[in-house]
Amino acid sequence: MKKITFLLVVFLALFSCQKTDSEETNPLLNAVLYMQQSAEYKALTLQIYNNAAIHLERALADKNWTAATEQNGDYQNLPPAVILDVDETVLDNSAYEAQLINSGRSYTSESFAAWCKEARAGIVPGALKFCTAARKKGVTIFYVTNRGNAQKEDTRKNLRRLGFPLEKEIETILPRTDSSDKGKRRAEIAKRFRILLLIGDNAGDCFSGFTHASQVKRDSLVRVYQSHWGSKWIILPNPSYGDWESALFDYNYKLPQSEKLKIKRSRLVE
């Protein structure tokens, strides 16, 4: 009997160790904790939006200033606008990511759509103050997002609930159309507005060249446009997900998690 009890204890100890290991290797765990619990993440996004407010003043004063490579022609006297991405730029979806960790599930468009429907995403620190102050200066705030058209009204509800500026006369929420590349949508806005700043957590929120580009190409483009960062193009941190991660496995979203993890490990540099 004693032997059986001893074996049972050993078995339970091994089992509980294994469980802890697998929980600790969830690739989202540290990233989501950093975004939800660290003072540094909040300090970082506040720092970024404080800096964006300074550059907004410069951009307003300089009629030749435009942040969009899609902008050309006589744009100098067009009314000013700022383009922001939505997820992890103005809306904080870390609660959805936390649900994924706790349920042991991976992202699916269905579960994300259900999350969007709840319209309870929070605010990325600094975003609301920045948008409200910019709107007061006569700047139109556009939200160019890769959420689907089916999520547009849920997104509007969420933004409205949090107090983000929305316009009655024009549509300022532009969801994904036929492409996740935001260049076409920026070009449409650029016909009617001078684009002062582009703000997002994905480099493709600022320049189309990054969208679905290899990691090598993305790295080289960062250097080509080095003077844009922090002045015309504003990037927020997102260690949870994004094209930075997808580029590691060449945007092959269908790969099983185990394969993705293997590739990620192979990309570590010692």
Count the helix, strand and coil residues of the chain and give each as a percent rounded to the nearest 5: 50, 10, 40
Give residues 171-230 in contact with Mg ion (rule: CB under 5 A). Answer: 201
Q: Which residue is nearest to Mg ion (CB)?
A: 87
Q: Compare residues 60 and 237 and give the one whose CB is closer to Mg ion.
A: 237
Q: Compare residues 85 and 154 and give the one whose CB is closer to Mg ion.
A: 85
Q: Which residue in the set 52, 65, 81, 88 belongs to the binding site for Mg ion (CB under 5 A)?
A: 88
Q: In angstroms, how far is the first alpha carbon of the chain from the final one? A: 50
CA gap 56, 200 in Å, rounded: 15
Size of the site for Mg ion (CB under 5 A): 4
Give residues 1-60 in contact with Mg ion (rule: CB under 5 A). Answer: none
Q: Please report how close the Cβ of residue 205 comes to Mg ion at its closest, in angstroms.
A: 7
Report the run of H or E that residue 204 belongs to, with start and end. Answer: none
Q: What is the DSSP letter of 223?
A: H
Q: Which residue in the set 75, 78, 85, 197 belongs to the binding site for Mg ion (CB under 5 A)?
A: 85
Q: Compare residues 20 and 180 and give the one whose CB is closer to Mg ion.
A: 180
Q: Compare residues 60 and 120 and give the one whose CB is closer to Mg ion.
A: 120
Q: Compare residues 65 and 164 and give the one whose CB is closer to Mg ion.
A: 164
Q: Please report how close the Cβ of residue 102 comes to Mg ion at its closest, in angstroms.
A: 22
Q: Please report how close the Cβ of residue 88 comes to Mg ion at its closest, in angstroms.
A: 4
Q: Please report how close the Cβ of residue 238 comes to Mg ion at its closest, in angstroms.
A: 7
Helices (H), 62-193: 94-103, 109-118, 127-136, 152-162, 183-190
Q: Which of 55, 31, 139, 49 is nearest to 90 (CA)?
A: 49
Per DSSP (E only), the strands in the chain are: 80-84, 91-92, 122-123, 140-144, 173-174, 194-200, 233-235
Q: Please report how close the Cβ of residue 24 comes to Mg ion at its closest, in angstroms.
A: 27
Strand partners, 82: 141, 197
For position 92 contacting Mg ion by CB under 5 A, the verdict is no
Residues in the site for Mg ion, rule: CB under 5 A?
85, 87-88, 201
